[in-house]
Structure 1
Amino acid sequence: MSGPEFHVPTTDFTFSTERDLSDVDEIAYPQSSRFYGRDNGSFDSESYLTSTSDVAVDQNGAIYSPQSSRKVYLNPPYIHDSDIDWSGTNKTMGAKFSPNSVNGLVCYVFGKEPKEKNEEVEDEILQDQIYTCPLSRTIDDRRSFYNDSYLKFMEAARVDRKDIIRTIKLCNIYLDYSRLIKNRTKKLNEKLNAMKFIDENFKDEKTQLELLTFQDIFAVWELCRIIYIPSKQEYNQFGQLSLELIKWINHCFPLHPLNEDEEEHLEQLQQNQELHQDEFFWSRLCGLVIRGLPEAKIFLKNIDKNDGSEFSDYVKLVLDILDTRPRVTELEYHEFNLRRHEWLSKISDLQTKLRGKSFLEGRINDILMILRGHTKTIIEKSSTWQEALGGLVYHVRPTCDAQELKNILNVILEKIDTCSTALDDALIEFIFRRVEKGIQHCERIDLWLSAHLSDILNKLDLVGRIHSQSSHQKQNNIITQPDIDIREHYLLSYAESMVFHTTLWQLAFKYFEHCETCGYSYMSQLVVRIPFEDEFKANKLLSICKENGLTFQEKTISRILGKKYWQNERYASAIVYFINAGDTASLEVIYRRFLDNYIDTGKLTFLDTVESIQLDDDSPVSIKFLSRYRLFHALKQNGEVQRAGAILMELLRAQVAPISFWPVLLLNALPLLQEGKSRKMIIFSTQDTLEILRNLQDVTSFVYQEEFLACIERLKKWHTQENGYPELDNNLTALRLALLQNSADCYIENSSSPWMFE
């Protein structure tokens, strides 16, 4: 039991009490935490990642030596700019886009060390306090939507690629997604209408923007369903695409509703029987006819004078043509073509009758040209390229398939300039069947759309792979990340947006689990950055680590929990988590603290703590020492002095206790010797006695004299006759005499044994 004392760092570990930021409007900072208690928001890298090695690496990859006292802040308290006199600190606050979040900022405190403090590295930039700040709270309003869509995502994940009915299952899941989008849009509309009912001047720009986003999401989602994912068998029949497409255009890109002035204008013209002379009326009517809307008949009936004039007769003929249009879904292919040919001939005959009648030919003939499928007229009369596309498909190629849409769109784009919006770009790419580019534009609309759309289309083998790089790699031209499929690329981006949300962070890790190439890497980096307010959330994080084999991260979180419970004086829980983390240094600190407390007070405060911990052969020797020392005191208190003596000798021979505790172990032999003397029992054998004497000689020698005397002085505070303990001297005379007497007793007992006379 000799050798120098093993030095263990005793730097206190602290965590932050974060300020409640519920009053901050736009930027959602991490919220306050009851679990963090009274801590100051930092930890020393030395105490956080203490190990037997000479260096430690923090979560950001920075390397520190054990002697470093620099503090690293993972989740510090928020500081208002007005709370600090920055001129006196030589620091300021800054922000940049987070490399680990697609829609967040990293805020930090930085500055230069004063020259008088550090002349050699005066330009060192300090970035100690780091905050992860989401830029928007939109995600809070979507929690229900995200939870429901996650359930559908899990349903899609369970679909086996080898399943015969895989396509049918995915189509049904796709339709369920559509219902979720519709419900979200409906709720947003109801919210806006309810507020407008209360206040006509009410403008909720945030909700309005969210509504527009979901309308764009629905437009893209439905177009992909029409083109790529027929939900029923009859969608493959001729003509179904045209009906679905015109329905999609009317729903997603409707004609703007008439305002009060326009309605009043049309009513006045109708009363004066001047509708047929109004340009706006005919323009509106052409749009209704192009879209195949039934309102076109109502408009025509409004100008029918019913006066037996030639004008009224021609209007009725146009109405008859609208009524007799062949319905593509009600007829067989050949029968439909035959009836459509007869119907087009009927239109041609009416156009022939209109020749020479300048007014009727100029107005009604435009309607007839649209119905007949005249490409140039449809494009000229269309207000948007989407309307033109629907008109050409509905009136010109009602039996076309999805492959022909790109040819039709090419004709339109030669005549109509499109707006360079994310929605327009995405729709055009999907119509041209450039799925990867379409999904890239979807990211500009919303991350949810790009993630879940690519997930479904990937399962239908419609998307390929791309090369993915982080922002850091792009800036430094580093190419290390492997090619991943588009699905995984956008799922990772979507999951990142939820990582630091207070409730949806668990969904983020579920999405990471379904990213085969890079999901593990993302989880390993982000799981240790999740702030946990209580043990319940911390255990969820530990479960994620266990389920995904994140051993280092599991130990890191366990170490943080151990430090936290240590601060709160819940030592049993702290020891358990330190054992799980393999943090022998922190366990050594607790072990030393228990021993020091016993030296100073004589109180066995650790007995109950150690008793509640289940130990095995792999448990740390320091904790097993405390367990055996607890057993020693329990046996001594119960009068089992011989067993207690055996345990004490085991502790002495183990050479686990620090030098400062050697005198305590040696003095623990004195009451056992006295008890054995009174009960005429031999507690220690001759060999045990000699070993105790040898240890006593070592501890009082010149080498360890300083530690020995310091321990004796501390023990004298409570080793008094009034407390039932013998008075101590610097030579432990009472113990020496008791050991010599025990040696004599052992010799006498051995001399009287029968074998001595054989």
Structure 2
Amino acid sequence: MGEEDSAQIIGIPDELCMKAGMSATWRSGNKLGVFAHKHMSVNSDDKKSNFHPCDSQVYFLQPEVILFSPILRKLVNESNGVFISIRKIKSLNTGEIRPELVKHSKQYRSILRACVESLQDDIEKINNQEQKLITQNYLTIFYNIECVWHLTEILYVNTIPGDVIVPQFVEWIRFHFPSRGLMAMKILAKKTIGAEETNSNYWESVIGCALHGKLDAVRALLLLHSKADDQAFITADNILRTMPIYNVYGGYSINEFTMRWKHWQLDLSSNLECKTFIVDHNLEKLMMLVSGDESVLWDYASEYTEAWYELLAAKLLYSSPCCKQAELSRHANNIADKWPANRNLDQTILALMESDLHQVIKEIQYMNDNGWFAAHLTDLLYNCEQLNIIDKNQINVTDLLHESLILDYATTLMNNSSLWQCGASYLEYCPNQGMTRLELLLQTIPLDSEAKIKKIIDLAKKNNMNNVVASICKIQGIKCIKKNRLGNALAWALKAQDGPFATYIADKFLNKYAETGELECRDLLENLGASMLTSDRLTFLGKYCEFHQMYEIGEFKEAARLLVSLIISNLTPKYFWSILLTDAIPLLEAEDIILSSDDTFTLMSCAEEHGDDPKFEDKLEIFRYAVARNLARALNFEGCQI
């Protein structure tokens, strides 16, 4: 399908849009928001709108992404594994990696073949006609993709010594056009002599097998002919049996094989000139086809083919069995010019044979597979060093094109709530724009579960995206604060190592304590450890919580030490001085001397500086009395100690 044929008109069923007009804006990913909008300009009348007040709707439009269909999830996930594996072999291998890349290409094809078979099975089970058509469309798309990938592998990835491509090309034809072979198997299974009389598809099967180079099947079918014992059929069988088939590992050089093949062809031509096969019109046409007679190929055999490349395979096999890839373009164009190749698949295959990979990439982007094929095939060719794209300004854009296709595919996956991690793994291997794109897209993912948030944060940390971690943690922390869950909010702030946010939450804890006299989330605060160093205010909160812990278990001297250290640390918020001074009173009035004279002088100095807080006014006299009493006891005790 051409680009101009893919345009689609979508109706918006909105009366307000019809009256006022419409506008649109891009949302995240490939989503478009469409809404009613009265278009105004500098020349428009300045008057009150006729549409106010009104109920306005926003319509979200986005192209269908078939990869999000559950039946195609396996394809997406498994191909992602192969993509990452290619990166690993590149990083670990310093030698020739082409054999490994061939294995990975076959893995991609195996995944595609499994997908095609799964779709075929599903079509048989679906009763809903609309769903059946959708699945049939998926099947067509991925069958075509597998077909093109297989040929690309033959021509550009799994190249063989000598570069003779005919044997592999014929195998490709047999694999993707199996109908005549299956027809022949049904006829052969019956083992009926005179099969041409009982089966109307007999000669179609014979010619179809001959076009695909299945000469053993052709010979077996000819043995079922009612005239099989005739000398013409015996001669035909002998000629077909002795036809040389080139094999790079067959022990013959190309020159030796060519001599053997020409000798065989000369023998066949001699029999044709002597009218050896004239006893049966179809037999004669068959032997003329095998002799390489191109007129028979078009006038007789073409009606038994589904695509022009079937004819090309026969032409190469019987006329140029040692054809190399460099010569393939000429032969392909000779055949394709006579065949109405309007399908996207036909144009793609012709571009492959012409070694025009730039055109191939353009064509495969019209296959409606949301970029899966273009991204993975281009990546394989790039790693095989077979991709060399020059733009119209004669600038090499291979690297840019390679990365661009992967970016587009990854961005599509990032818009799915289940496949975003898969998309992120592609972006991590895009050296130029991957990290920037990943950083932007991670912040657009809906934070709808704790597990997903953890995965996003872990991925951001792995790629040193500290601002993404801080942003997500702050969003989650604010949500927790709104739900009055300060402990969870503090945990998010610590996860992000966000000092200002941790200070804000610590203030929330201290203010709440100042109002209620209760410290929340004691377990968390008592086990902050080194995390309390995230901010000064959090350090103060952690130490103050530790002071309470020591006081409650009766470690009064340690509690007093902590209290004095808080007072002299200069970390105390202004609203909390009265609370620290109040906490000192029980320690000053304890039966044992807990605070030294130096500690007492520190408390006196603090009271002079901060004791004017209205909240401490009613406790000031008690505090002064306790200070005087403790100072006297401390000085007396310390004097005796000396």
Relative to the length of structure 1, the TM-score reads 0.67
Confirm or deny that 1:187 pairs with 2:118.
yes
State the Cα distance separating 1:432 from its structure 2 match. Answer: 0.9
2:139 — aligned with what? 211
1:457 — aligned with what? 381
Q: 1:496–1:508: 8 Å Cα contact kept in structure 2?
A: yes
Matched residues in 1 for 2:375 and 2:236: separation?
A: 48
1:439 — aligned with what? 361
Judge which range, 163-172 or 676-685, deviates more: 676-685
State the Cα distance separating 1:390 from its structure 2 match. Answer: 0.8
Confirm or deny that 1:150 pairs with 2:80.
yes
Q: Alignment partner for residue 429 of structure 1, among 329, 335, 351?
A: 351
1:493 — aligned with what? 408
Q: Alignment partner for residue 405 of structure 1, among 328, 337, 347?
A: 328
- What one-letter code is carried by the residue in structure 2 that aligns with 1:418? A
> What are the Cα deviations for residues 357-376 of structure 1, in whole angstroms up to 9, with x where unaligned?
7x966x55433332111234
State the Cα distance separating 1:91 from its structure 2 match. Answer: 13
1:250 — aligned with what? 174
Q: 2:180–2:205: 8 Å Cα contact kept in structure 1?
A: no
Matched residues in 1 for 2:101 and 2:318: separation?
A: 32
1:167 — aligned with what? 98
Q: 2:166–2:321: 8 Å Cα contact kept in structure 1?
A: yes
Matches within 5 A, 1:461-476: 461-464=385-388
From the superposition, tell whether residues 343 and 600 of structure 1 become closer, same or farther in structure 2 (CA, over 3 Å).
Answer: same
Confirm or deny that 1:554 pairs with 2:469.
yes
1:289 — aligned with what? 210
Q: Alignment partner for residue 587 of structure 2, among 658, 672, 692?
A: 672
Matched residues in 1 for 2:499 and 2:207: separation?
A: 81
Q: 1:642–1:683: 8 Å Cα contact kept in structure 2?
A: no
Matched residues in 2 for 1:147 and 1:680: separation?
A: 67
Q: 1:641–1:676: 8 Å Cα contact kept in structure 2?
A: no
Judge which range, 657-666 or 521-530, deviates more: 657-666
From the superposition, tell whether residues 186 and 576 of structure 1 become closer, same or farther in structure 2 (CA, over 3 Å).
Answer: same
Matched residues in 2 for 1:748 and 1:245: separation?
A: 105
Matched residues in 2 for 1:551 and 1:128: separation?
A: 34
- What one-letter code is carried by the residue in structure 1 that aligns with 2:384? L
1:18 — aligned with what? none
Matched residues in 1 for 2:621 and 2:592: separation?
A: 15
The 3-state SS of whatever aligns with 1:732 is helix
User: Structure 2 stretches of 5 or more lacking a match?
Assistant: 1-11, 39-47, 392-396
Q: 2:427–2:434: 8 Å Cα contact kept in structure 1?
A: yes
Q: 2:532–2:538: 8 Å Cα contact kept in structure 1?
A: no
Q: Cα RMSD over matched residues?
A: 4.7
State the Cα distance separating 1:245 from its structure 2 match. Answer: 0.9
Matches within 5 A, 1:48-59: none
State the Cα distance separating 1:128 from its structure 2 match. Answer: 10
Matched residues in 1 for 2:453 and 2:595: separation?
A: 56
Matched residues in 2 for 1:695 and 1:614: separation?
A: 30
Matches within 5 A, 1:143-542: 143-160=73-90, 163-193=94-124, 195=125, 204-230=132-158, 235-237=160-162, 241-255=165-179, 273=197, 285-294=206-215, 295-297=217-219, 300-301=222-223, 304-305=226-227, 313-329=231-247, 330=250, 332-333=252-253, 334-354=255-275, 363-380=282-299, 381-382=301-302, 383=305, 384-421=307-344, 423-445=345-367, 446=369, 447-464=371-388, 484-542=399-457
Q: 2:560–2:587: 8 Å Cα contact kept in structure 1?
A: yes
Q: 2:348–2:363: 8 Å Cα contact kept in structure 1?
A: yes
Confirm or deny that 1:732 pairs with 2:622.
no
1:704 — aligned with what? none
Question: Aligned pair count?
Answer: 595
Q: 2:600–2:630: 8 Å Cα contact kept in structure 1?
A: no
Q: 2:151–2:172: 8 Å Cα contact kept in structure 1?
A: yes
Matched residues in 2 for 1:411 and 1:293: separation?
A: 24
From the superposition, tell whether residues 411 and 676 of structure 1 become closer, same or farther in structure 2 (CA, over 3 Å).
Answer: same
From the superposition, tell whether residues 595 and 133 of structure 1 become closer, same or farther in structure 2 (CA, over 3 Å).
Answer: farther
> What are the Cα deviations for residues 523-550 of structure 1, in whole angstroms up to 9, with x where unaligned?
1111222334443332222221122121
Q: 1:545–1:553: 8 Å Cα contact kept in structure 2?
A: yes
From the superposition, tell whether residues 628 and 86 of structure 1 become closer, same or farther in structure 2 (CA, over 3 Å).
Answer: farther
> What are the Cα deviations for residues 707-738 of structure 1, in whole angstroms up to 9, with x where unaligned?
x4xxx4xxxxxxxxxxxxxxxxxx72442353
Q: 1:693–1:736: 8 Å Cα contact kept in structure 2?
A: no
Q: 1:498–1:505: 8 Å Cα contact kept in structure 2?
A: yes
1:48 — aligned with what? none
Judge which range, 517-526 or 535-544, deviates more: 535-544
Q: 2:20–2:36: 8 Å Cα contact kept in structure 1?
A: yes
From the superposition, tell whether residues 737 and 301 of structure 1 become closer, same or farther in structure 2 (CA, over 3 Å).
Answer: closer
Matched residues in 2 for 1:243 and 1:461: separation?
A: 24
From the superposition, tell whether residues 409 and 621 of structure 1 become closer, same or farther in structure 2 (CA, over 3 Å).
Answer: same
From the superposition, tell whether residues 96 and 207 of structure 1 become closer, same or farther in structure 2 (CA, over 3 Å).
Answer: farther
Instruction: State the identity %.
Output: 20
From the superposition, tell whether residues 648 and 291 of structure 1 become closer, same or farther in structure 2 (CA, over 3 Å).
Answer: same
Relative to the length of structure 2, the TM-score reads 0.78
Q: 2:588–2:626: 8 Å Cα contact kept in structure 1?
A: no
Judge which range, 553-562 or 392-401, deviates more: 553-562
From the superposition, tell whether residues 360 and 745 of structure 1 become closer, same or farther in structure 2 (CA, over 3 Å).
Answer: closer
> What are the Cα deviations for residues 640-693 of structure 1, in whole angstroms up to 9, with x where unaligned?
555544543443455545444443333333333333699997585335313313
From the superposition, tell whether residues 609 and 315 of structure 1 become closer, same or farther in structure 2 (CA, over 3 Å).
Answer: same
From the superposition, tell whether residues 616 and 86 of structure 1 become closer, same or farther in structure 2 (CA, over 3 Å).
Answer: farther
State the Cα distance separating 1:466 from its structure 2 match. Answer: 7.6
Matches within 5 A, 1:101-112: 101=30, 105-106=31-32
> What are the Cα deviations for residues 30-65 of structure 1, in whole angstroms up to 9, with x where unaligned?
xxxxxxxxxxxxxxxxxxxxxxxxxxxxxxxxxxxx
Matched residues in 2 for 1:238 and 1:666: separation?
A: 91
- What one-letter code is carried by the residue in structure 1 that aligns with 2:331? I
Matched residues in 1 for 2:195 and 2:491: separation?
A: 88
2:5 — aligned with what? none
State the Cα distance separating 1:106 from its structure 2 match. Answer: 4.7
State the Cα distance separating 1:92 from its structure 2 match. Answer: 13
Confirm or deny that 1:626 pairs with 2:541.
yes
From the superposition, tell whether residues 672 and 320 of structure 1 become closer, same or farther in structure 2 (CA, over 3 Å).
Answer: same
State the Cα distance separating 1:200 from its structure 2 match. Answer: 13
Matched residues in 2 for 1:461 and 1:498: separation?
A: 27
Judge which range, 90-99 or 575-584, deviates more: 90-99
Higher RCO (CA < 8 A, seq sep 6+) = 1
State the Cα distance separating 1:492 from its structure 2 match. Answer: 2.0
State the Cα distance separating 1:418 from its structure 2 match. Answer: 0.7
From the superposition, tell whether residues 255 and 517 of structure 1 become closer, same or farther in structure 2 (CA, over 3 Å).
Answer: same
User: Structure 1 stretches of 5 or more lacking a match?
Assistant: 1-80, 113-117, 468-481, 700-707, 713-730
The 3-state SS of whatever aligns with 1:159 is helix
Matches within 5 A, 1:704-723: 708=614, 712=615
Matched residues in 2 for 1:570 and 1:99: separation?
A: 31
- What one-letter code is carried by the residue in structure 1 that aligns with 2:240? L
Would you tell me which structure has more helix in proportion to its own residues? 2
State the Cα distance separating 1:622 from its structure 2 match. Answer: 1.5
Matched residues in 1 for 2:486 and 2:321: separation?
A: 77
